[in-house]
Amino acid sequence: MGLEDAKTQIDHAFTRDDLKGASFENAFAGATSFLRRRYTKDLSNVDIAITGVPFDQAVTHRTGTRFGPRAIREASSLQPYDKPYGWDYNVLEDFAIADYGDLAFDYAKVSEFPETLKSHIAGILAQDTATVTLGGDHYITLPILEAYAEKYGPLSLLQFDAHTDTWADDDMERIDHGTFLYKAVKLGLVDPVRSVQVGIRTDNPDTLGFNIIDAREMHRIGPEAVAEKICEILKDYPTYLTFDIDCLDPAFAPGTGTPVWGGPSTADIAVILRNIAGIELMGGDVVEVSPPFDTSGITAVAGAHVATEILSLWGWTRRA
């Protein structure tokens, strides 16, 4: 396996005959599904589906996250050779993972987008398949949470972000990535008392009751202690994880719409995500990757690794 397979494997996004296992296709070649998983709309026996939502019409500053799903998939081509580092099992071997492709929507009818996305996610969940979504701006998490709450009831939320996204907005028709969580609380989709926001470093006096581990506390206590605190708050509550790439300091993720200095490093986040293994994760997303503002591609690389960690977290409590 490995070098010999690389001589013959190509376009595994379409040609692989198994939803499990590594891929040794050359990283620089072929169709770029996420982690070289098979593209399919058939979710029979699929444990978890990757789906992209190339939507960025709710941003308050720089657009470009519509290109995020494509960039994250491309960046992930470096990862499917080995099991995710630091885990005692291999989610790619133990679970059937498919790339469900992107959401189709009419970009000129923005008002229809929330229901279109909600139905998209609900259709996946109806087949007892979980989701990891590649964004797209952070507004997309609201319709996703609506679909999850309809199936599982109100969830705990684990949010990595530079912003709380709880700015008050009682107009439920407005589509805004900075107010989606305010709406999620008001709609009863998440319980802030048993949720936690990590990496916050912008001022918003109305926290709506969320537990907050801000960036300064993260730096003071270190990533291991942050992970312990997250686990204490979430306990065994069913949890949805949303990761805004601007949680990372712009030095590590410059390709995002609203960068804020003073954030954690990718090394910090790698420790935190690995150390919260055991939380009852139901699904997750990675949002706000904006490739036009990062010619190096390191932001998409970070996004691909975060998405892989979400897969591993999801599988940890369900492994044999």
Q: Is 12 inside a domain boundary?
A: no
pLDDT band at 1 (very low <50, low <70, confident <90, very high): low
Q: Is 53 inside a domain boundary?
A: yes
Q: Is 307 inside a domain boundary?
A: yes
d(CA 122, CA 124): 5
So what's the pLDDT on residue 6?
Answer: 85
Q: By residue range, what is the domain housing residue 154?
A: 42-72+105-316
- Indicate the average pLDDT of the chain: 96
pLDDT band at 3 (very low <50, low <70, confident <90, very high): low
So what's the pLDDT on residue 299?
Answer: 98
Which residues are part of a known binding site for Mn(2+)? 138, 161, 163, 165, 244, 246
Q: Is 10 inside a domain boundary?
A: no
d(CA 88, CA 80): 16
pLDDT band at 219 (very low <50, low <70, confident <90, very high): very high
- pLDDT tens digits along 184-194: 999 999 999 99
Closest CA to 152 of 191, 115, 183, 116: 191
Q: Is 192 inside a domain boundary?
A: yes
Q: Is 23 inside a domain boundary?
A: no
Decide if pLDDT at 41 tops 70. yes
- pLDDT tens digits along 276-293: 999 999 999 999 999 999
What's the pTM value of the predicted model, to 2 decimals?
A: 0.97
Q: Is 213 inside a domain boundary?
A: yes
Parallel/antiparallel/unpaired status of strands 48-53 and 196-200: unpaired
- Mean per-residue pLDDT, 41-50: 97
So what's the pLDDT on residue 320?
Answer: 84
- pLDDT tens digits along 56-81: 999 999 999 999 999 999 999 999 99
So what's the pLDDT on residue 178?
Answer: 85
Q: Is 234 inside a domain boundary?
A: yes
Contact 16, 30 (CB under 8 A): no
So what's the pLDDT on residue 176?
Answer: 87
Count of the separate structural domains present in the chain:
1
Assign residue 61 the CATH number of its domain.
Answer: 3.40.800.10
Of the ranges 22-31, 92-101, 153-162, 210-219, which one carries the lowest mean pLDDT score? 22-31
Which residues are part of a known binding site? 138, 161, 163, 165, 244, 246
